Amino acid sequence: MDYPQPVQNLITLVAKLPGIGKRSAERIALHLMKAGPETSRSLAQAILETKSKIHNCARCGSYTELDCCEICTGPRRDQSILCVVEGPNDILSLERTGSYTGVYHALMGRISPLNGIGPEQLRIAALIERVRQEQPAEVVLALGAEVESDATAHYVAEQLQPLGVPVTRIGLGLPAGSALEAADEVTLARALEGRRKL
Ligand SMILES: [Zn+2]
């Protein structure tokens, strides 16, 4: 005998979440059935509230409830160092190291011809425009060590070159073929410290 349809739907949906297999999805569904209605209600509410209140900062792309995030407007942030990352998750990873005080620019992905993602689908033109206007003292490319991230880093560096702004890239200590979010805080902090000029 299989689960009733609504339970099957729930299991299918939960199993689509990253890192959750069919068995875990089943356990979560069974837990929710056993728990009081308040558990399901607050979970559903938290998901809906997150979706309706959180968006990407217009300037850097990080997750925020505001028009412009607290990193961009933070009085203690060094506006002269601009760190380029693939996505808002990477901003969170770098913030957790506690060792970066500059500002960010998320590209919202990486160049991936196989998936039909070219430079024009990313926030690269916005980055070039921002660097042109703000003239930072340094642009740090904090992209992962995977093949597509590497290609993106080279492309961005090439585009930035005519602007004459020093461009560095993190990498030392970052295992080859890994994404930023897979690295622990100490490794990331070291990768930041060990950035080298391109
Ligand atoms: Zn921001």
Strands 102-106 and 78-85, bridge-based pairing: parallel
Exposed, middle or buried: residue 1 (CB in 10 Å: 0-12, 13-18, 19+)? exposed
For residue 188, how far is its CA from the centre of ligand 1 (angstroms)?
Answer: 20
For residue 99, how far is its CA from the centre of ligand 1 (angstroms)?
Answer: 18
Q: Can you tell me whether residue 26 is helix, strand or coil? A: helix
pLDDT at 180: 83
Cβ proximity of 165 and 198 under 8 Å:
no
Q: What's the rounded Cα separation, in Å, for the pair 195 and 198?
A: 9
For residue 163, how far is its CA from the centre of ligand 1 (angstroms)?
Answer: 23
Residue 76: other Cβ atoms inside 10 A: 5
Amino acid at 32: L
- Looking at the DSSP assignment, which residues form a beta bridge with residue 84? 105, 141
For residue 46, how far is its CA from the centre of ligand 1 (angstroms)?
Answer: 23
The predicted model scores a pTM of 0.85
pLDDT at 175: 67
pLDDT band at 173 (very low <50, low <70, confident <90, very high): low
| Averaged pLDDT for residues 144-169 | 94
For residue 179, how far is its CA from the centre of ligand 1 (angstroms)?
Answer: 21
Residue 174 clears pLDDT 70, i.e. is over it: no
